[in-house]
Structure 1
Amino acid sequence: MITPRFECSQTPESVAVKIYCPSVRASDVEIHVDDTLFTVHLNPYFLRLNFPHTVLEDDASAARYDPSTGHLTVTLTKEIKGQEFADLDLLSKLLAPRPSAPAPVIEVIGQQDSDGTDELVARTNTLSLEREREQEEILLAAENDWQVPQEVPADPPITTTLTQSYGFLNMHSGYFKHVTHTENEANELGADAEVCTAQERRTRRRKHEDEKWDEEHYMADYADDEYIQELVLWENQENPHATTAPFQFTEDENLALLNLPRKEYLIDVAQAKSLYLTLLSVLFSYAYETRTTQGDFTPESAWTICSLTPAFSALDPPPYSAPTTASPVPSPEDLSACLAQSYRRALAFPLYRSFALAEACRADVARLLVRGTRPVLRALLATQHVLAHHEVYYVYSKIWLEDFCVWVQASARDQTLRELGAAVQSLRIPKRAIGWDLEGLEAATHDVRARESDSDDESDEEEVARQL
């Protein structure tokens, strides 16, 4: 069956579903409505939507097929007139199955003859029969002078599972078994990506960042920052400071939403906090690449995004600090620790290494978050598109971005994202939190500039004296 392209709209009294299914026989359509569940079967198309509230198929409902455009429009009546059906533009959320009912908890209260006597008798009888059978074989072998084969019992094999899981909610493994043949330059774990524990990943990530840190590169970008200042001042028209226009996904984005997997996640508080923090680091990498390319992604964009995201390059997602609250919403300490890792990578790996540029990216992330779910989802879809179309880095789309897109539109709350955005906007990352002596290097750069300026002044004075 084919899932058709569709879109939904609503009035105070009804919900309309417009389905694109060209070259079909409209007389064969089968429509079924059950509470919040709506299904349409029109060979070879099948569509099942789960609305947030109950819809009815009554006299006011209608289905109309336009053969000139290939659209089937089904209008359903709202059970409660005037009720707002939220998120009708989040297509994958409508396609998601109904939430699974919790498994019943069965508790054994009591049982007759629960002292285990019957089970013990049965096991004793089984052992007795086996022993009798062995004794008969020994006697028969003795009568016929058989040589019963005997071997020294070997030690039981030691079985250990070395493979470690990773990715979204640690649901994935096996993607890096042949990583040595893929030329994955973003992967910092090499062939050990499948077996490194969480602590080993973090240790190796920090070590690799320290090795890649280049003081001279940082000082050069700090001293000659004319182009970097242009990047810092660049205004992203896709992420304005304030907008009143209604948000609307493009046709390509709607198609990408339809192609997302249909999944349901059971997430506890700690996992939810980790996902919000990982989302923060992914958006930071997206903001860096968007700002440094001024919105025009390049063939190197996939490498940059993966290299700046610890959860991708080292399979090391947040949190990066000890838990401070039992809330799924990250605390300021959680946010600061998470962004500090992104700053470290932005200062160690890409072409432009500037603390001011990292600060501009943080502001971009804050503006995205305060606008809510849809702009965040658009940024994730753009990132997923970049990675999914790369011959090597598509793996990170599979283990992170696809699930992230599904989770954000289905579970990430607008209010939570806006609160995160406000917290990120007011956050200040001290330079000492990066772990490198940024302030000392900047002071040394100023000293060098001052000495060069004095030297130039003396040379000018000497030249004037010679001319006189």
Structure 2
Amino acid sequence: MITPRFECQQTEESIIIKIYCPSIRAADVETHVDDTLFTVHINPYFLRLNFSYPIVEDEQSTAKYDPSSGYLTVTLTKEVKGQVFPDLDLLSKLLAPRPSQSAPLIEVIGQEEDDATDDLVAQTNALSLEQDEILLAAENDWQIPQEIPTADPPISTSLTQTYGFLNLHSGYFKHVGHTENEVNELGPDAETCTVRERRLKRWKHEDEKWDEEHYMADYADDEYIQELIIWENPRLVDSSPFQFTDAENLALLNLPRKEYLTDTRQTKNLYLTLVTILFSYAYETRTTQGDSTPESAWTICSLVPAFSALDSPPYSAPTTSSATPTSPSESDLVGALSQSYRRSLCFPLYRSFVLAETCRADVAALFLLGKRIILRVLLETKFILDHHEVYYVYSKIWLEDFCVWVQSFASDDTLREIGAALQSLQVPKLSIGWDLDGLEAATREVQTREVDSDDESDEEAEVARQL
């Protein structure tokens, strides 16, 4: 079946769904409403939308087909008149299945109801004897022996490690040694490196790439960097009403239908990863002034630790905080940004701490603007990676899922809370791990000596001229 293009609007009393399905017979249209669920079938098209609140099909409901335009317009009545249905422009969210009542940490892939029933039966039949015993013990309130968990990481008997969004992916780097992947810092061991090994390899690679002379040169001669700093990103200053473009709507429709059931720790780490991804976008956009180049995909991937080394947050030790359970604390944000700062100072062309600070301000502004602007930025970044013959893999294991998660599961309140924290956040230079203050002081001292030397030369020249 084909998922047709569609758009949704609302009035005080109704939901209006416009579906593009050219060359059909109006008599073949079948619609069904069940609480928040609306389905329509017109061979070969099938559409199922899950709204936030209940809708009903009554006397005021209509379905009209215009053969000249190819649009079927369905009008449904809100069960509660005047109720505002949110996120009608987030098409993938409307296409997602109803929230599952399953236990957390399970990813539910969007599918037909018959398939879901078959999967549920298969999972039930697959219960092991041990699981049956646990269920029976719970039913009879037997006391099952328990042990205090240790701090040691669980031992894995598998050579293959998972990575990417919620560690859902594997197998993408089996043949990385035969590709021109200049971003990959794990080499041919990308599939087997443990979490700790990934981080150690990344730190080592960053230290090897760190160039004191390059940093001092950019600090001394920063005329062009200052131009990059004062440039204004149109995404951050556009005050016109937000509306997704046709290309963006098509990209949203092509996203997979997924539901992510995460715990608070996983949710917090997703927000932290989002910070690093948006930092890479901010750096790439600012240094190209919004005109992407063939190097843009490399720059984006190089600046995100979760891409280049499959090294995801957290990057700092856990601390007690007054922040909400899913909202990163100040130390969490400093830890994440420190990694982005490090990479911006050792890989791309322009290496400036002040430029990194400007990118942090850009990220703060994006978070404050909310999920729609962030989703637009993610789609833009995804487009860049999708059209690269090697780095498209990072779109598959990270950005595709992030686009789905941001529009359907990210909290606007949490996003704005993070944005406010980033606005006033200070990333200490000491957290970068290199002696930036010392290098900057040495550069200023050299510049002062050169100025004094030039003044003395000018004075000597003037005396010689007078003689």
Q: Normalising TM by the smaller chain, what interval?
A: 0.7 to 0.9
Which residue matches 1:82?
82
Secondary structure in structure 2 of the residue aligned to 1:396: helix
Matched, 1:211 2:208: yes
Matched, 1:290 2:285: yes
Counting only pairs closer than 5 Å after superposition, residues 20-419 of structure 1 correspond to structure 2 as 20-102=20-102, 106-108=135-137, 160-240=157-237, 243=239, 245-325=240-320, 327-419=325-417
Assess, with a 3 A threshold, how the Cα gap between structure 1 residues 109 and 424 changes in structure 2: closer, same or farther.
Answer: closer
- Measured against aligned partners, the alpha-carbon deviations of 1:194-250 in whole angstroms (never above 9, x if no partner) come to 00000000011011111100000000000000000000000111112x83x321111
Question: For 2:337 and 2:429, how far apart are their aligned partners in 1?
Answer: 12
Partner Cα separation in structure 2 for residue 300 and residue 102 of structure 1: 43
Deviations 1:69-127 (CA, angstroms, capped at 9, x unpaired): 1111100000000011000000000000111223699444689xxxxxxxxxxxxxxxx
The C-alpha deviation readout for 1:420-452, integer Å capped at 9, x for no partner, is 000000101111111101011111111111111
2:111 is matched with none
CA distance in 2, matches of 1:312, 1:414: 25
Q: Please state whether the residue corresponding to 1:41 is helix, strand or coil.
A: strand
The aligned counterpart of 1:140 is none
Stretches of structure 2 lacking an aligned partner (at least 5 in a row): 104-123, 125-133, 141-155
- The SS at the match of 1:238 is helix
Partner of 2:146: none
Residues 109/2 of structure 1: CA separation in 2 closer, same or farther (3 Å cut): closer
Q: Counterparts of 1:317 and 1:172 in 2: how far apart (Å)?
A: 13
Q: Aligned partners of 1:70, 1:9: CA distance in 2, in Å?
A: 18
Per-residue deviation, 1:455: 1.1
How many Å separate the matches in 2 of 1:254 and 1:344?
Answer: 36
SS of the residue 1:39 aligns to: strand
1:436/1:67 Cα in 2 relative to 1: closer, same or farther (>3 Å)? same
In structure 2, C-alpha distance between the alignment counterparts of 1:109 and 1:344, rounded to whole Å? 51
What's the TM-score once normalised by structure 1's chain length? 0.88
Question: Counterparts of 1:23 and 1:182 in 2: how far apart (Å)?
Answer: 45
TM superposition score normalised by structure 2? 0.88
Paired residue secondary structure (2:65): strand
Deviation at 1:465, TM superposition (A): 1.7
Q: What is aligned with 2:462?
A: 464
Query: CA 1:248–1:434 in 2, change beyond 3 Å: closer, same or farther?
Result: same
Partner AA of 1:39 in structure 2: T
Shift of 1:400: 0.3
SS at the partner of 1:433? helix
SS at match of 2:74: strand
Letter of the structure 2 residue corresponding to residue 423 of structure 1: A
In 2, the alpha carbon distance for the partners of 1:110 and 1:179 equals: 50
Q: Which shifted more, 323-332 or 204-213? A: 323-332
AA at the equivalent of 2:361: A
CA RMSD of aligned residues (A): 1.5
**1:440 maps to which of 438, 462, 467:** 438
Aligned to 1:124: none
Deviation (angstroms), 1:160:
4.2
Q: For residues 406 and 187 of structure 1, what CA distance do their matches in structure 2 show?
A: 25
CA deviations over 1:128-182 (Å, ceiling 9, x no partner): xxxxxxxxxxxxxxxxxxxxxxxxxxxxxxx942110000000000000000111
**What residue in structure 2 maps to residue 119 of structure 1?**
none
Distance 2:304 2:18 in 1: 39
> Does the C-alpha gap of structure 1 residues 210 and 110 become closer, same or farther in structure 2, counting only changes over 3 Å?
closer
Q: Which has the larger displacement, 23-32 or 363-372?
A: 23-32
SS in structure 2 of the partner of residue 257 of structure 1: helix
The AA in structure 2 aligned to 1:98 is R
- Counterpart residue identity of residue 359, structure 1: E
In structure 1, distance between residues paired with 2:96 and 2:317? 34
**Percent of residue pairs identical:** 72
Which residue identity is paired with 1:463? Answer: A
| Aligned equivalent of 1:120 | none
Distance 1:197 1:366 in 2: 32
**Aligned pair in 2 of structure 1 residues 109, 441: CA closer, same or farther (>3 Å)?**
closer
C-alpha separation in 2, matches of 1:365 and 1:160: 40
Work out the number of aligned pairs and report it.
Answer: 419
The letter of the residue matching 1:196 is C
Superposition deviation, residue 323 in structure 1: 1.6
> Relative to structure 1, is the Cα distance of residues 83 and 392 closer, same or farther in structure 2, using a 3 angstrom cutoff?
same
Unaligned stretches of 5+ residues in structure 1: 112-158
Q: Which letter does structure 2 place at the counterpart of 1:254?
A: N
Distance 2:34 2:465 in 1: 97
**Whole-Å Cα distance in 1 between the matches of residues 463 and 100 of structure 2?**
89
Distance 1:196 1:413 in 2: 33
Which amino acid in 2 is paired with 1:421? G
CA offsets 1:252-297 (integer angstroms, 9 cap, x no match): 1111100000011110111001100000000000000010011111
Distance 1:110 1:192, change over 3 A: closer
Structure 1 residue 452 corresponds to structure 2 residue 447 = no
